[in-house]
Amino acid sequence: MIKFFRKIRYDLMEKNKTGQYLKYAIGEIVLVVIGILIALSINNWSKSNQLSNQEYKLVLELKNDLTETQNELIEDINTLSQIIQKSDSIITYLNKIEPEEFDLNLYGANQFTWASFNVKLYPRTIAYENLKSLEIQLVANDSIRFYITDIFDRKLPRIVNWEANAIDSQTNLNNALEQNLTTIKSDNYEYYSLIPFTFTKDSKKLFVNRLAILQNDRISLNSLYTDLLDQINALLKLLENEYFQSN
């Protein structure tokens, strides 16, 4: 092809057709520029296509991780709600009786077993860590980027802190009432629980106060769980509409 164009140039020069030669030279330059632009366009399209495929793959992984976390959150919220309800009933019961009237067998060891529980969320964050390593800007949609960073960089760290608070409150309750606690193993579960077997006036008050502090941590944690679940639901809906909705 190069030899062909070169021959045309030589013929025009030999025939002293300067005007035609200049026109031809300009046309050749235009063709070269067009060729370069086409090559750049193809290269940019190829890179854009690669980024689009990479974005889709990461978003699909993120969707799977969020769905797993969503399912665990629903279970944790249900469990924590039951714990809060049963612990509230214990506080109400203890506030109505005198210490010597306390009868663990009459009230039910199962209620106090629930009161010694806590829940902990184990979110899946592998896809988000991969996304961060490639920069979050890879996700084109601004709203989706906002929800992703809000969930993983703001809400989850807050939940970790409140979970630690609840565990500390539970530990403080057990340490403060060590002499009044006994270890039991429920027939329905494999683990052991620490529950009170007797109360004095002071220990009953201490137990109620410590349990109330633990309840406050649980209530705050349950609110954070619910807020996180709402955010995950909203993000999954955005992902579905943006990436996975069939035409």
Predicted local distance difference test score (pLDDT) of residue 46: 40
Q: Give the residue among 126, 123, 146, 142 at the shortest CA–CA distance from 224.
A: 123
- Mean of per-residue pLDDT scores for the chain: 81
Domain ranges in the chain are 67-244
Question: By mean pLDDT, which of 96-100, 134-138, 226-230 is the weakest?
Answer: 134-138
Question: By mean pLDDT, which of 157-166, 183-192, 208-217 is the weakest?
Answer: 183-192
Predicted local distance difference test score (pLDDT) of residue 187: 64
- Residue 218 pLDDT greater than 60, yes or no: yes
Q: What is the pTM of this model?
A: 0.76
Mean pLDDT of 174-188: 82
Split at pLDDT 50, 70, 90, the class of 51 is very low
- Residue 211 pLDDT greater than 80, yes or no: yes
Per-residue model confidence as pLDDT tens digits over 21-31:
455 455 555 55
Predicted local distance difference test score (pLDDT) of residue 244: 83
Split at pLDDT 50, 70, 90, the class of 43 is very low
Predicted local distance difference test score (pLDDT) of residue 74: 97
